[in-house]
Amino acid sequence: MPKSIIIAPERVFSREVIRFSDIPVNAYAKSVEEELASYSTDDLLGIWHDMCAIREFETILNEIKTKGAYKGITYAHAGPAHLSIGQEAAAVGMAFSLEPDDHVFGSHRSHGEILAKGFSAIRQLADDRLLAIMTSYRDGAILRPVEKGHAGTVKQLARRFFIYGAYSEIFARETGFNRGLGGSMHAFFAPFGIYPNNAIVGGSGSMAPGAALFKRVNRKPGIVVANIGDSSFGCGPVWEGITFSAMDQYRTLWDQALGGGLPIVFNCMNNFYGMGGQPFGETMGMQYIARLGAGVNPEQMHAERVNGYDPLPVIDAFTRKKQVLLEGRGPVLLDTVTYRISGHSPSDASSYRSKEEIERWQQADSIPAFRNKLIAKGIVAEAALDAVRAEVEATTFDMFKLAVDLGVSPRVRIDSDLVGQVMFSNQRVERFDNRAPEFLQNLADNPRVQQLRGKIRTPTDGGQPVAKMKAFNVRDAIFEAMLHRFSIDPTMIAFGEENRDWGGAFAVYRGLTEALPYHRLFNSPISEAAIVGAAVGYALEGGRVVAELMYADFMGRAGDEIVNQLAKWQAMSAGQLTMPVVLRVSVGAKYGAQHSQDFTALVHHVPGLKVVYPVTPYDAKGMMNAALAGTDPVVFFESQRVYDVGEQFVEAGVPEGYYEIDLAEPSIKRLGTDLTIITLGPALYTAVAAADELQKQYGLSSEVVDLRSAIPLNYEPLVGSVKKTGRVLLVSDAVERGSVMHTVSANLTQLCFDDLDGPPVVIGSRNWITPAPELEASFVPQVSWLLDAVHERILPLPGHQPTTKQSLDELTRRERSGI
């Protein structure tokens, strides 16, 4: 079913010019008297409160980092403190008019943003709601220390709670928002709309669009703000996130009832510096971050530069931009100008800027400036401002004292297994929402569903091998599992390159285009970082998502999103967030050096990911079903060598109904007594062929075990097999050096040392680039390699004449030359 956007030659060749419209710079011109129509005295005192609180919060951090003490309280803080002294007005301006349903993502320099958003939410939430949040959040662990002896209002209590939770998090205490597993650069508190802050520069730029997507797809209220620095606009993933957010399809192809463009503000906290490099005038060429909106879409992202050294223009901008987003005209780019008076971190000697420059910004400091403005116009009495400041400083200091007190705020016990326990959530969630899943047709009418009914699901058809066209294959198995979950979980969506009309590059999704509305299955831009980043953001908001990378080779493009985002947030939230993402990754064949690499080892090395690689229809369906019922990130490798392969091992065939396979369980594909051959990926089929030859030619009985999964992995069946045979050969198509099989081999050596006749032998692809298909047989393990390896390194095969080089001498020679 082709799309309805027709590209007409006469249109694209017509003469025209591309026009840009003016991008406002500091257009805000309201006097404070004019603003009185929008703000009560309490509002203004609130803004003042929040700015002072942030300043005090960070001043304390700065003092203890640089001097080891504050007002007589000594404390050595080992972790980082990226301070934002000077940026308070920008943070408060950003957060002040946002509602709890508006979600902010941020950067390493986010203490101020967190506090500002927290105070804003506290102001807006009703007392009973605040109490409910504080008592239920981690069963009151943060509330208990701060409610002791508190005689003030609920809102005051909530502010104590929030300042204390933030300090505790920064100081790695049990009483932190995330039990200290997030820390200074990653602290967040979802009940107040504060989502993960990212130590990876620009990290929020690719994740936050997924949160905005979640709001659209699931019709949730509110907008999303990605607070990122000026230097982060040099990061590819930020551009990808912008591209993803600005896709026309939200307004051209999606159901307009969903609300149109993504409700997201890319808010640049523009302090004119990275650590020492200056995007303005040195490391970039756009001069104004706001200019960057010009190329993105005809609305130029509604880009605007605002004065973030005064909270009022920022509040004004956010109020206007939120309206734009609610009208479905997003995304928005804001260039909020501010200045970091503090160093990048306390060890920063400010060698990259002049003293004079810092002094000038100190003279313009937003906190005294705001105070003076209010006093000069007689809007708020000096005494009232001073009283607020005194109270803020006292509370902040009190909370600091509580947070550093190990008796009140203990660290997670060093011998506890907490980190291990929260690496995976290991839950089962049938559906993340109860509404009816949206479909375009009755599934019984779906052509692919109908076609699958006629396919043969068993290894043989009337005693004969099944013809390729008739076999229910791996591709079908994944489709069936996907459709099942799509039909149960209304939040489930899938996206990636060429996912919709093309059906995914390898036609796994063929038929889903007819079945699903755009917002449940769509083409993404060629933006691998944004594909994975958006999936992470979507999942963090509470939706199930399947993202696809067309080739494993492209994982590098999404490197950060896979290794630092997808893998980390469950544990960094101390188990409060789940990550129900299946990342489908196809492993190529016959496409040479950049399209045919098995990268299982890369993700195997990254704690926090489940890594599976089924290669039979039975396994693919059962494991996809399990992955789609779980709450953990699963990197789901698929081999292009076997998409067409029918079931060859399960005599009863692939069930039409639902079943799951425990991801940790290896599968014994063939029983044997003399040798265990362990595989991961399509090497299974090579191993089975080798087992046939070993039996036929040498009477050697091989047990073939397919790991199916690298993480998690139950070693018991492997140990059981090795205890029986005493000999192990491990095979995968990944390049041999550092392959998953080496870890399995090393572990089995320890687990089965007394039962082994000799050391396990690992065979993988050569440590080369993947050559052209005509040469692949010299690269990927072949049956002959396995036979020769058995002969040379496990058990001499009588009369066997090796045709390939598998000896230990050859291994040593190759290692010596680095190949």
Residue from 113, 230, 541, 733 touching Mg ion (CB under 5 A): that is 230
Residue from 194, 200, 602, 635 touching ligand TPP (CB under 6 A): that is 200
Residue 55 interacts with, from ligand TPP, Mg ion, none (CB under 5-8 Å by kind): none
Helix (H) or strand (E) holding 244: helix 236-245
Cβ closer to ligand TPP: 210 or 274? 274
Are 613 and 708 in contact by the 8 Å Cβ rule? The answer is yes
CA distance linking residue 13 with residue 18, whole number of Å: 13
Alpha carbon separation from 310 to 27, 601, 798 (Å, rounded): 13, 50, 85
By CB under 6 A, the residues from 223 to 252 that bind ligand TPP are 229-232
Question: Counting contacts by CB under 5 A, is residue 271 touching Mg ion?
Answer: yes
DSSP 8-state code for residue 149: T
Cβ closer to Mg ion: 82 or 138? 82
Query: 181-220 burial string, b = 16+ CB within 10 Å, else e?
Result: bbbbbbbbbbbbbbbbbbbbbbbbbbbbbbbbbbbbbbeb
CA 696 to chain centre: 49
Cβ closer to ligand TPP: 237 or 331? 237
- Least CB distance to ligand TPP at residue 100 (A): 25
Considering all CA atoms of the chain, what is the largest pairwise distance in Å, rounded to the nearest integer? Answer: 103
Residue 69 interacts with, from ligand TPP, Mg ion, none (CB under 5-8 Å by kind): none
Q: Which amino acid is present at 157?
A: L
- Least CB distance to ligand TPP at residue 229 (A): 2
Residue 275 interacts with, from ligand TPP, Mg ion, none (CB under 5-8 Å by kind): ligand TPP
CA distance linking residue 617 with residue 440, whole number of Å: 27
- Least CB distance to ligand TPP at residue 77 (A): 18
Alpha carbon separation from 124 to 97, 127, 227, 274 (Å, rounded): 10, 9, 21, 34
Question: Counting contacts by CB under 6 A, is residue 196 touching ligand TPP?
Answer: no
Residue 109 interacts with, from Mg ion, ligand TPP, none (CB under 5-8 Å by kind): ligand TPP
Residues in the interface with ligand TPP (CB under 6 A) total 17
DSSP 8-state code for residue 13: T
755: left (phi over 0), alpha (psi -120 to 50) or beta: alpha
With H, G, I as helix, E, B as strand and everything else as coil, classify residue 781. Answer: coil
CA atoms within a 13 Å half-sphere pointing along the CA-CB vector of 768: 14
- Least CB distance to ligand TPP at residue 163 (A): 21
Question: Counting contacts by CB under 6 A, is residue 563 touching ligand TPP?
Answer: no
Cβ closer to Mg ion: 200 or 521? 200
CA distance linking residue 275 with residue 231, whole number of Å: 9
Are 427 and 630 in contact by the 8 Å Cβ rule? The answer is yes
- Least CB distance to ligand TPP at residue 291 (A): 16
Q: Is 595 a catalytic residue?
A: yes
Question: Counting contacts by CB under 6 A, is residue 274 touching ligand TPP?
Answer: yes
CA distance linking residue 590 with residue 478, whole number of Å: 22
Cβ closer to Mg ion: 231 or 648? 231
Question: Counting contacts by CB under 6 A, is residue 499 touching ligand TPP?
Answer: no
Cβ closer to ligand TPP: 232 or 782? 232
Which residue has the closest beta carbon to ligand TPP?
229
Residue 770 interacts with, from Mg ion, ligand TPP, none (CB under 5-8 Å by kind): none
Closest CA to 60 of 177, 189, 174, 163: 163
CA distance linking residue 46 with residue 405, whole number of Å: 29
CA distance linking residue 513 with residue 441, whole number of Å: 10
Cβ closer to Mg ion: 271 or 395? 271
- The mark string for 336-355 relative to ligand TPP (x by CB under 6 A, - otherwise) is ----x---x-----------
Residue 108 interacts with, from Mg ion, ligand TPP, none (CB under 5-8 Å by kind): ligand TPP
Q: How many CB atoms lie under 10 A from the CB of residue 255?
A: 11
Question: Counting contacts by CB under 5 A, is residue 86 touching Mg ion?
Answer: no
- Least CB distance to Mg ion at residue 361 (A): 13
Cβ closer to ligand TPP: 334 or 612? 334
Q: Which amino acid is present at 484?
A: H
Q: What pairs with residue 103 in β-bridges?
A: 224
The span from the first CA to the last CA of the chain, in angstroms, equals 48
Residue 570 interacts with, from Mg ion, ligand TPP, none (CB under 5-8 Å by kind): none
Residue from 49, 55, 65, 108 touching ligand TPP (CB under 6 A): that is 108
Question: Counting contacts by CB under 6 A, is residue 96 touching ligand TPP?
Answer: no
Residue 49 interacts with, from ligand TPP, Mg ion, none (CB under 5-8 Å by kind): none
Residue 132 interacts with, from Mg ion, ligand TPP, none (CB under 5-8 Å by kind): none
Cβ closer to ligand TPP: 86 or 210? 86
Are 84 and 54 in contact by the 8 Å Cβ rule? The answer is yes
- Least CB distance to Mg ion at residue 214 (A): 28
Place of tokens 């030659």: 9
Cβ closer to ligand TPP: 337 or 786? 337
Cβ closer to ligand TPP: 273 or 495? 273
Residue from 180, 196, 229, 311 touching Mg ion (CB under 5 A): that is 229
CA distance linking residue 756 with residue 724, whole number of Å: 9
Residue from 85, 194, 201, 650 touching ligand TPP (CB under 6 A): that is 201
CA distance linking residue 486 with residue 464, whole number of Å: 35
Strands 304-307 and 332-337, by their bridges, are parallel
Place of tokens 């970091």: 340
Question: Counting contacts by CB under 6 A, is residue 334 touching ligand TPP?
Answer: no
By CB under 5 A, the residues from 150 to 209 that bind Mg ion are none
The stretch among 94-102, 253-261, 271-279, 472-480 that binds Mg ion (CB under 5 A) is: 271-279
Residue 232 interacts with, from Mg ion, ligand TPP, none (CB under 5-8 Å by kind): ligand TPP
Residue from 49, 65, 109, 160 touching ligand TPP (CB under 6 A): that is 109
The stretch among 34-42, 267-275, 477-485, 587-595 that binds ligand TPP (CB under 6 A) is: 267-275
CA distance linking residue 663 with residue 4, whole number of Å: 41
Cβ closer to Mg ion: 271 or 336? 271
- Least CB distance to Mg ion at residue 230 (A): 4
Query: 399-417 burial string, b = 16+ CB within 10 Å, else e?
Result: bbbbbbeeebbebbeeeee
Residue 199 interacts with, from Mg ion, ligand TPP, none (CB under 5-8 Å by kind): ligand TPP
Q: How many CB atoms lie under 10 A from the CB of residue 252?
A: 12
Q: What pairs with residue 465 in β-bridges?
A: 460
Residue from 134, 170, 199, 226 touching ligand TPP (CB under 6 A): that is 199
Alpha carbon separation from 496 to 298, 361, 493, 500, 545 (Å, rounded): 24, 45, 10, 9, 11
Cβ closer to Mg ion: 231 or 564? 231
Find the catalytic residue in 108, 302, 595, 604.
Answer: 595
With H, G, I as helix, E, B as strand and everything else as coil, classify residue 146. Answer: helix
- Least CB distance to ligand TPP at residue 233 (A): 8
Residue from 62, 168, 175, 271 touching ligand TPP (CB under 6 A): that is 271
- Least CB distance to ligand TPP at residue 421 (A): 28
Helix (H) or strand (E) holding 513: helix 512-515
CA distance linking residue 569 with residue 607, whole number of Å: 11
- Least CB distance to ligand TPP at residue 338 (A): 9
With H, G, I as helix, E, B as strand and everything else as coil, classify residue 765. Answer: strand
Residues that bind Mg ion (CB under 5 A): 229-230, 271, 273
Residues forming the active site: 595
Residues that bind ligand TPP (CB under 6 A): 107-109, 199-201, 229-232, 269, 271, 273-275, 340, 344
